[in-house]
Amino acid sequence: MKKGTVLIALGIAVILSALGLTVYNLYTADRAYKDASDAFNKLQDIIPANDQIVLPIVKDEGEPNEDKNEDEIDNTPSTEASDGDLNGEQTQALPDYFLNPNVDMPSYRIDGFKYIGTLEIPDISVQLPIISRMSYSRLRKAPCRYSGSAYTDDMIIGAHCYENFFAQLKNVPRGGQVKVTDIDGNVFVYQVIAKESVMKSDVEGLKSGQWDLSLFTCPSVVNTDTRIVLRCERIYPLIKNQ
């Protein structure tokens, strides 16, 4: 009888540990979302408003970008009147990053973490801050920049597959849009061109392809051997949607 009792007790302990791990994971994800939301709201207060950019963005031709071949997308930074051109009027001077794209993105410190801006993905209702550099402790707070810069069109951002972070990244459709806003209020709008799956050991694969923006996360809570990567191209010009 004792042995049976011991086994039952052991079984209960093991189940409780499973439940404990579940609660811990859910709490961590929830805590991360609250912290990220707080940081996002604080950043919204300090980032200069730029109401010129409203998603979804349409191109000059007035046609929404659907199934656009990547070769047809113009990646040349616009320095003409169309940058900030509303109703044919020149509205703003060239931002600093046009003059010197190699300067690192400015940052703003909140609770000891440096943020370089915000990330919005309307198709999956994501509105999150972006931490300047990636580490495991920072990933528990918000999406982090893995490498590159919005100014040099080679930024890679990663985040945990928490429900309110990048869990739904795989559901962003091709043609979906992503918006990055830096601390100075400069807005960068991207369009999803492709989704890839790379092995966790394929660091070069993640960085390859010369994509303007890449977002990555684990494809599911149980699959940690690969990473799903959303590949995006920057859309030009930045014009106000009608």
Under 8 Å between Cβ of 178 and 189:
yes
141, 179, 227, 231: which one binds other proteins (CB under 8 A):
227
Residue the block writes with tokens 């550099």: 133
121, 206, 230, 239: which one binds other proteins (CB under 8 A):
206
Write the single-letter amino acid at 84: G
Which range touches other proteins (CB under 8 A), out of 49-57, 73-81, 171-179, 193-201? Answer: 193-201
| Minimal distance, residue 111 CB to other proteins, in Å | 15
What the block records as the tokens of 163 is 């429900």
Distance from C-alpha of 181 to C-alpha of 221, rounded to nearest angstrom: 29
Q: Site residues for other proteins, window 37-96 (CB under 8 A)?
A: 96
Distance from C-alpha of 81 to C-alpha of 89, rounded to nearest angstrom: 7
| 155 lies in the binding site for other proteins (CB under 8 A) | no
| 128 lies in the binding site for other proteins (CB under 8 A) | no
Q: What is the dihedral of CA 40, 42, 44, 47, to 10 degrees?
A: -120
H helix intervals, the chain: 2-46, 96-99, 136-139, 203-207
Distance from C-alpha of 181 to C-alpha of 187, rounded to nearest angstrom: 4
| 17 lies in the binding site for other proteins (CB under 8 A) | yes
Determine the size of the site formed for other proteins (CB under 8 A). 62
| 35 lies in the binding site for other proteins (CB under 8 A) | no
64, 77, 95, 106: which one binds other proteins (CB under 8 A):
106
Nearest partner of 219 among 230, 210, 211, judged by Cα: 230
Residue 136's SS3 state is helix
60, 133, 210, 241: which one binds other proteins (CB under 8 A):
133
Burial status of residue 126 (CB atoms within 10 A of its CB: 0-12, 13-18, 19 or more): buried
Which is nearer to other proteins, 1 or 49 (by Cβ)? Answer: 1
Which range touches other proteins (CB under 8 A), out of 36-44, 65-73, 119-127, 221-229? Answer: 221-229
Which is nearer to other proteins, 16 or 54 (by Cβ)? Answer: 16
What the block records as the tokens of 220 is 């599911």
Which residues sit at the interface with other proteins, rule CB under 8 A? 1, 3-18, 21-22, 25, 28-29, 96, 99-100, 102-104, 106-109, 114, 133-134, 136, 139, 146-147, 158-162, 166, 183-184, 198, 200-203, 206, 216-218, 220-224, 227
